């Protein structure tokens, strides 16, 4: 790739106090203006990865480089200045806005945190809220007076206010009704086209992630198990877990690949490949060593952490396929 990555995370690792290894050697890259999706079920570490990238948590190992600078040693005012470029849209719109501050104040706070004078901040807040579809009458309302979809738009306006280069959307549409979710997703796409902002889109919903993302990273038990472009993963998943996730999403025309058993206890993960206890294709070798990310079918960008990534595994085919 000739252009420089906007965000480069290498070997991020985070272990929590209760011994759970939430993020285990995760690396990912985001280029300017693109959308990278992180998908996985609960406990896979995707939200924690997002927080590590935002430096809301400190990694135990690994580093995050944003816009060419290593974020690790940066602290204090410098870090706060960088945050203007690296914003967050959190999951729950009801709680991510201060219940005792009005909607406009939520956006203004972000601007004033970066030195905008009050008048200009108020004006810009009004413009942004209008752009995301919040009528002017709602500017002085409090969060409990708005619906989930409207509140999430406010959260998006807040994130956009400082003209960031990258926005981390942490399950940003998961708490919304489907029809409202569609509105917000369309809005995110428009804003990206207008402003060239990059997204790191974290979600458990593979359909949404694939729709929105250029590239997708699939996580399981704290590790990346597959990554590639959205269309590669949809057409040709290599890791059994990705295939299982795909088959459970609507519109796939696939027989569901139903996994056996439950998620293992994250505090006591299986040896070798964390997925082997539920994998219909597991071999004995899978228990011995942790599989490295290997290119799938020789293409550099599409990789999977599976010993059998080059085997032609029989994932369920489309219904009706010959």
In the region spanning residues 279 to 318, those forming contacts with other proteins, defined by CB under 8 A, are none
Of 45, 59, 90, 274, the residue at the interface with other proteins (CB under 8 A) is: 90
- Indicate whether 136 belongs to the interface with other proteins (CB under 8 A): no
Report which DSSP code applies to 66. E
Q: Which is nearer to other proteins, 8 or 146 (CB)?
A: 146
Residue 10, beta-bridge partner list: 63
The answer to whether 254 contacts other proteins (rule: CB under 8 A) is no
With H, G, I as helix, E, B as strand and everything else as coil, classify residue 196. Answer: coil
DSSP state of 316: P
259 or 286: CB nearest other proteins: 259
Total number of residues that touch other proteins (CB under 8 A): 84
Question: Among candidates 208, 203, 232, which has minimal Cα distance to 219?
Answer: 203
Q: Under rule CB under 8 A, which residues in 203-232 are in contact with other proteins? A: 204-208, 210-212, 231
Q: How far apart are CA 129 and CA 30, in angstroms?
A: 27
Task: Please tell me whether residue 196 binds other proteins under the rule CB under 8 A.
Answer: no
Residue 42 makes contact with other proteins by CB under 8 A: yes
CA 118/CA 126 separation, integer angstroms: 12
Judged by CB under 8 A, the stretch of 6-14, 21-29, 140-148, 266-274 that binds other proteins is 140-148
Report the nearest approach of other proteins to the CB of residue 303 (Å).
21
Contact between 162 and other proteins per CB under 8 A = yes
Binder of other proteins out of 262, 268, 284, 312 (CB under 8 A): 262
CB of 270 to other proteins, least distance (A): 15
User: Of 153, 183, 150, 146, which is closest to residue 169 (Cα–Cα)?
Assistant: 153
Near other proteins in 50-69, by CB under 8 A: 54, 56
Q: What DSSP assignment string belongs to 214-228?
A: SEEEEEETTEEEEEE
Whether the CA torsion 108, 179, 136, 166 is positive or negative: it is positive
Rounded Cα gap, residues 11 and 26, in angstroms: 5
């Amino acid at each position: 790739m000739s252009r420089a990555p906007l965000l480069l995370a290498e070997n991020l690792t985070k272990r929590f106090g209760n011994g759970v290894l939430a993020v285990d050697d995760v690396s990912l890259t985001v280029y300017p203006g693109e959308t990278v999706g992180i998908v996985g079920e609960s406990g896979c570490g995707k939200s924690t990865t997002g927080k590590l990238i935002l430096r809301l948590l400190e990694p135990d190992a690994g580093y995050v480089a944003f816009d060419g600078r290593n974020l690790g040693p940066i602290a204090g005012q410098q870090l706060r200045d960088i945050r203007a470029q690296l914003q967050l849209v959190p999951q729950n719109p009801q709680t991510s806005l201060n219940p005792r501050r009005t909607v406009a104040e939520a956006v203004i706070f972000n601007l004033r945190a970066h030195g905008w004078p009050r008048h200009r901040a108020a004006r810009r807040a009004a413009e942004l809220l209008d752009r995301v579809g919040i009528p002017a009458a709602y500017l002085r309302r409090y969060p409990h007076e708005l619906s989930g979809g409207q509140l999430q738009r406010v959260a998006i306006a807040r994130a956009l206010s400082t003209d960031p280069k990258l926005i981390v959307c942490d399950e940003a549409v998961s708490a919304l009704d489907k029809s409202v979710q569609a509105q917000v997703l369309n809005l995110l796409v428009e804003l990206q086209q207008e402003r060239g902002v990059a997204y790191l889109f974290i979600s458990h919903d593979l359909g949404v992630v694939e729709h929105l993302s250029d590239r997708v990273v699939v996580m399981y038990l704290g590790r990346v198990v597959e990554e590639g472009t959205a269309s590669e993963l949809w057409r040709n998943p290599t890791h059994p877990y990705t295939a299982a996730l795909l088959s459970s999403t609507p519109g796939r025309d696939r027989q569901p690949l139903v996994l056996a058993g439950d998620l293992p206890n994250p505090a006591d993960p299986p040896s070798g490949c964390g997925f082997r206890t539920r994998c219909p294709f597991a071999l004995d070798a899978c228990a011995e060593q942790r599989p490295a990310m290997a290119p799938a079918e020789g293409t550099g960008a599409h990789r999977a952490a599976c010993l059998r990534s080059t085997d032609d595994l029989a994932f369920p085919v489309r219904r009706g396929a010959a």
